[in-house]
Amino acid sequence: MDEEAIYDFPDVNTADVNGLLAVGGNLSYGTLMNAYKKGIFPWYNPGEMIHWFSPDPRFVLFPDKIKISHSMRNVLNKHLFKFSVNKAFSEVIKNCRLKKRTGEPGTWISDEIEMAYNDLFQKGFAHSAEAWQNNELVGGLYGVMIGKVFFGESMFANKSNASKFAFIYWAGVLQKNGIELIDCQVYTPHLESLGAEFISRNEFNKFLKQLIR
The per-residue pLDDT for range 64-118, each reduced to its tens digit, is: 999 999 999 999 999 999 999 999 999 999 999 987 655 454 467 899 999 999 9
Q: Name the band, by pLDDT with cuts 50, 70 and 90, for residue 4.
A: confident
Q: Is the pTM of this model over 0.85?
A: yes
Query: Which domains are assigned to the chain?
Result: 12-55 (3.30.70.3550), 59-211 (3.40.630.70)
The 126-133 sheet, strands edge to edge = 82-85, 126-133, 136-146, 149-157, 181-185, 58-61, 197-199
Q: What percent of the chain has pLDDT over 90?
A: 89
Amino acid making up residue 40: I
Instruction: For the chain, give the mean pLDDT.
Output: 93
Residue 2 predicted with pLDDT over 70: no
Read off the pLDDT of residues 29-41 as tens digits, 9 standing for 90 and up. Answer: 999 999 999 999 9
Ordered DSSP codes for 42-78:
E---TTSPPEEE--SSEEEE-GGG----HHHHHHHHT
